[in-house]
Amino acid sequence: GKQEKEGRPVVSQWRADVQSLVSSSKWLQCYGLKRNQLSLSQILSQIGFQHRKDYVTTLGKPVASRYADGLFPQYKRAQDGSVYNLTAKKELILHFVDCLMGAIELYKQRMEWLTSESRQIFGVIQEQCIVIVLDFGTAAPTEFDLCRDALSMVLVEQVIQIARFNLIRAAQDLRKWQQKCTPVSEHTVKSAVTWLWKLDHMTAVSHTSSAEALLEAMGDEAVEAVYYFAVGDVPVDTKQLLLEKISDGPCPVNTVSFNAREDETIIFLKDLSRLASGRFHAFAQKNDCRDAARPALKYEEDGKSLIALDSRKVKGRVPLVAGVREDVFLIWKELEEARSTVRQVQKILSESSWAILWSFSTVFAVAFSLCR
């Protein structure tokens, strides 16, 4: 895997299976309940069989399969009223309870991971080759530093795990970190962080700067997606130009709204990402931290070692108008299903453990009488 490459830092707080940089729907294809035979109907079919009432044409009425009557403990599904005859030993049912508890723990961790650190600020980078366009707008000096803290976190935690990247700053005099997308290594990530912290706060911007920077980013054929990191609000004439130039471009544009003051900005950036076939993410920092910004990422004098980020400094939430993050919602839904399923399976255990023992003795007695 990419993370094991020479010198790549691996975040130890999270299990490897929690940290994969993919969408939640893709992640659930691997770790979801259905994929792992843990949905309620899959479990029921592994611990018993459905009790059928078959319609017999000659008699003109439904007839229950009589041989199973009274032999097996039964479980009736609340959702559709279907009845299952339970045949499994208690150990197998307990095994499913264990598996479900493991799944619940995994989903809780994935949700925590999705809503912490750089994923909370930026969402999850799902592509291998990206350009991040930095549009600092009219950010005040403290907010400018806060943005750089946030972006440093994105570089050190996520970009380090992909293949190639570049950074472009939207300004009248457009600034590029590199001419083209550059292979990711610890060295290039460090160099990008250094470049970020050397940027001037004050720089002339025109209403065409943002669109020009995005078009420049899309001009690199290797790029799978562009991330538009927009700080604060977007001026009206800039919005108009972005809608004209960016819709239906050569690659998707994912928009990230950082500290928008107006709801309209968030709604606009959400629409822009849809028109540019990209994803949307929003983050608003809690006000009490606005003045506490100082560089969170420093180098030792020799420039060799990267000191850990203080991710506690960039605190905030998803603005209400942005709506629920789809990637978080999907995991939450799976978590709720796992919790409900484990309750049902525990109910089966408590209601049928005596009956299972009883049914085995009945089966044994019937078989014994037939053999005589």
What share of the chain has pLDDT > 90, as a percent?
61
Give the mean model confidence (pLDDT) for residues 188-195.
Answer: 98
Residue 353 is predicted with a pLDDT of 56
Residue 76 is predicted with a pLDDT of 78
At residue 261, does pLDDT exceed 70? yes
Residue 90 is predicted with a pLDDT of 87
Residue with tokens 């044994």: 364
The pLDDT-based confidence of 363 (bands split at 50, 70, 90) is low
Neighbouring C-alpha atoms within 13 Å toward the C-beta of 140:
7
Task: Please give the structure tokens belonging to residue 94.
Answer: 């307990």
127-323 folds as: Rossmann fold (3.40.50)
Spatial separation of the C-alpha atoms in residues 17 and 300, rounded to whole Å: 32
Instruction: Say which residues have a Cβ less than 8 Å from residue 171's Cβ, sequence separation at least 6.
Output: 203, 204, 205, 209, 213
Residue 50 is predicted with a pLDDT of 83
Residue 293 is predicted with a pLDDT of 38
In this predicted model, which residue has the larger pLDDT, 196 or 321?
Answer: 196
State the chain's maximal CA–CA distance in angstroms. 99
Per-residue pLDDT reduced to its tens digit, 64-102:
555 555 577 887 776 787 888 888 788 899 999 999 999
8 to 66, 163, 165, 287: CA distances (angstroms): 64, 12, 16, 34
Give the mean model confidence (pLDDT) for residues 283-305.
Answer: 47
Residue 58 is predicted with a pLDDT of 64
Residue with tokens 């309209």: 264
Per-residue pLDDT reduced to its tens digit, 20-56:
999 999 999 999 999 999 999 999 888 888 877 655 5
Average pLDDT value for the chain:
84
Of 6, 14, 11, 27, the residue nearest 326 (C-alpha): 27
Give the mean model confidence (pLDDT) for residues 6-20.
Answer: 67
Give the mean model confidence (pLDDT) for residues 231-247.
Answer: 93
Give the mean model confidence (pLDDT) for residues 103-119.
Answer: 95
Transcribe 89-154 into DSSP letters: -HHHHHHHHHHHHHHHHHHHHHHHHHTSHHHHHH-----SEEEEEEE-TT--HHHHHHHHHHHHHH
At residue 152, does pLDDT exceed 60? yes
CB atoms inside a 10 Å sphere around CB 347: 12
Give the mean model confidence (pLDDT) for residues 258-275.
Answer: 95
Give the mean model confidence (pLDDT) for residues 106-113.
Answer: 96
- Is the distance from CB of 352 to CB of 86 less than 8 angstroms? yes
Residue 359 is predicted with a pLDDT of 55
What pTM, to 2 d.p., does this model score? 0.80
Question: Domain limits of the chain?
Answer: 19-113+332-371, 127-323
Residue 2 is predicted with a pLDDT of 43
Give the mean model confidence (pLDDT) for residues 111-120.
Answer: 94
Give the mean model confidence (pLDDT) for residues 199-204.
Answer: 86
The pLDDT-based confidence of 7 (bands split at 50, 70, 90) is very low
Residue 248 is predicted with a pLDDT of 78
Per-residue pLDDT reduced to its tens digit, 296-340:
343 333 333 333 445 556 788 888 888 889 999 999 999 999 999
**Cα 154 from chain centroid (whole Å):** 15
